[in-house]
Amino acid sequence: MQDAITAVINASDVQGKYLDGSAMDKLKGYFQSGQLRVRAATAISANAPTIVKEAVAKSLLYSDVTRPGGNMYTTRRYAACIRDMDYFLRYATYAMLAGDPSILDERVLNGLKETYNSLGVPIGTLVSAIQAMKEVTAGLVGSDAGKEMGVYFDYICSGLS
Ligand SMILES: CCC1=C(C)/C(=C/C2=NC(=C\c3[nH]c(/C=C4\NC(=O)[C@H](C)[C@H]4CC)c(C)c3CCC(=O)O)/C(CCC(=O)O)=C2C)NC1=O
């Protein structure tokens, strides 16, 4: 896994150079947003079950996916779906704290699309559930932190599409 600091340092190291102005600006931006990131992560971890529940209510409940024949039908599959939503929220929060999406590639997206396809998990429906979670999260943490979380929710969605 990489973070905003190692990303900048690795890029300079590859060229055998000290950090230049634009690398320093990237670091400055990251450090200045530190408080915002930590505050958002604190709020999200204290409210994770509520965020997931609201996102599911907004996007999945009472849709075809929860009816007989739907991929969320049966308690086991419903629970697997809620668990997946919580994974996405938790890993997006880690990536937001790190300021870098590499943890999503390594621990979430790797092989996931193939798994979903083989289990018949409808990816379009899943993507709208993640988008609903993005909105619910922004409502909780405010628009600046919400935008930052949005980067990583969108990253997950494009990794699945
Ligand atoms: C930390 C990284 C990580 C992720 C992301 C992950 C996802 C993941 N979700 C799975 C299943 C599943 N995922 C869903 C999810 C859904 N179905 C829907 O219709 C909805 C749209 C959606 C919820 C939003 C369902 C229903 C299953 C069970 C499918 C089945 O067994 O038939 C499976 C198959 C194995 C299992 O059932 O546990 C994996 C590996 N596992 C991991 O370790």
Query: Over the stretch 44-94, which tens digit does the pLDDT of each residue have?
Result: 999 999 999 999 999 999 899 999 999 999 999 999 999 999 999 999 999
- C-alpha–C-alpha distance, residues 128 and 150, integer Å: 13
Token readout for 107 is 């621990």
* Global pTM value: 0.96
Q: What is the percentage of the chain residues whose pLDDT exceeds 70?
A: 100
Name all residues whose Cβ lies below 6 A of ligand 1: 65, 71-72, 77, 80-81, 84-85, 87, 107-108, 112, 115, 119, 121-122, 125-126, 129
10 Å CB burial of residue 156 (0-12, 13-18, 19+) is: buried
Ligand 1 center from residue 112 Cα (angstroms): 9
Place of tokens 């018949």: 120
Binding-site annotation, residues for (2R,3E)-phycocyanobilin = 71, 76, 81
CB 95 within 8 A of CB 106: no
Ligand 1 center from residue 161 Cα (angstroms): 16
**pLDDT at position 126:** 98
The secondary structure element, H or E, covering residue 127 is: helix 123-141
Task: Report which of 108, 72, 73 is spatially closest to residue 89, judged by C-alpha positions.
Answer: 108
- C-alpha–C-alpha distance, residues 92 and 84, integer Å: 12
103-119: pLDDT as tens digits: 999 999 999 999 999 99
Token readout for 161 is 């599409």
CA distances 120 to 7, 22, 114, 153, Å, are: 36, 45, 10, 22
Beta carbons within 8 Å of 22's beta carbon, 6+ residues apart: none
> Is residue 133 very low, low, confident or very high in pLDDT (cuts 50, 70, 90)?
very high
